[in-house]
Chain A
Amino acid sequence: MESTELVVNGKAHKLEADSRVTLLDALRNHLGLTGTKKGCDHGQCGACTVIVEGRRVNSCLTLACMHDGDEITTIEGIGQPYNLSALQSAFVAHDGFQCGYCTPGQICSATAMIEEARAGWPSFVSDDLDGPAELSDEEISERMSGNLCRCAAYPNIVNAIRQAAGEQS
């Protein structure tokens, strides 16, 4: 058993769990935060995306015990039904989902992705590695390629992200 302290959405939690417990299972099964979803459990779909120390990561491919003391933001920390983030509102406005299973991962991922672009990080499709990183549709698709949507709501997801990124800049 490993003891780990996770600071999730600003609140510290003590976790006593087997070393095998992934961050994803810790959030869902131990802390009851079921907003974060398990799709593939192998880093291939992005449904489990959360923000750890400011960076989006796949919570299925990391162990909870590797994150002692880390600050973690899950979808529950990004907004609540009557207090949506700009990006969440944009997903509603643009119909950026159908079944909704991939949506928490899409929103956590896009929230951090907008910050990456703002920090000037280039992407595979950037003509110039030295930016500025403008979030065109092509850039959004490339930067969000780690989040699959089996309902293929992609065009509306891109529209939602473009709108939210534009409003915030």
Chain B
Amino acid sequence: MTHLPDTVTKPTTSNHTLIWYGLGLIALLAAPFLFYPVFLVKLLCFALFACAFNLLLGSCGLLSFGHAAFFGAAGYVAGHAAKEWGLPFELAILCGTASAAVLGFLFGYVSVRRSGLQFAMITLALAQLIYFLAWQLPFTHAEDGLSAIPRGKVLGLFDLDNIMVLYYTTAAIFLFGFIAMHRMTNSTFGQLLRAIRDNEPRAISLGYEVNRYKLMAFVLSATFAGLAGSTKAIALKIAALTDVHWATSGSVILMTLLGGLGTLLGPVVGAGVVQAIEDHLSSLPADFAVFGLFRLPPITAIIGAIFIICILLFRRGIVGEIQHWLDRRSGK
């Protein structure tokens, strides 16, 4: 057992957080000069999506297996609003995000009473329902999806077809979402969520209606997933079935765990790694044989392998391990 000093010891507030913030901001501003901007736009959308997922799993301990539903459905709605209703960029994004919030409320209302595997299964089942609807409803155009969605202009002034305008607009949306979610985890509400995650029966015995708090967290997480999905649909001009597919839900879990669950930058780093791998491997053949036995798309196989290695070697995820290492060095 560790020996504790019998004095009032304040936790050392981590200066790392500030350094991380600064580095992150510089990276965000400089990135389009170093990498292909469209790749970065996609990355930022998935990073925001992963942060939204992390908001629920990290602060509430709820593992949703259906987050693609919010991401994808919001994309369809935003795309439809921009293309068919001719709404401007901002309103289209708002429509998509709001639809994810409503969907989040419905999903959450049904699922937050459950926990663990049951919760994961219910969210998966509901997301499959959305996938089915995306197949069947006329406005989603089944396998074709929505394509050639017009991007429009930011504030009616800056043409989003200019790649740099597109990048910095996406970066601004990402930054807004990131900071907003960070504030939420450090809000009066976030504090109660942590308590509920740590010990739900105890929170109940103190008089808290824990399911209402979880529902609120679920809706917020779905809303930001929707913001990510809406932005992605308009920025990349497409909304397709893959966005609502369960594999996308799996992918966001992977990004979060790979980067570091419950860490600030983990989901962003995880999204970057997964996107970079997918981008590099997209030139490989469509599938290949494993030991001559069964065939797998290489992206799935390689990402799966990386995931297994990472989980075995760094259980805290990439950012989690780095933070742990820094804390240990500064601690002793």
Please determine whether chains A and B interact with each other in the same assembly: no
Q: Which residues does A use to contact B, with CB under 8 Å?
A: none
Q: Which residues does B use to contact A, with CB under 8 Å?
A: none
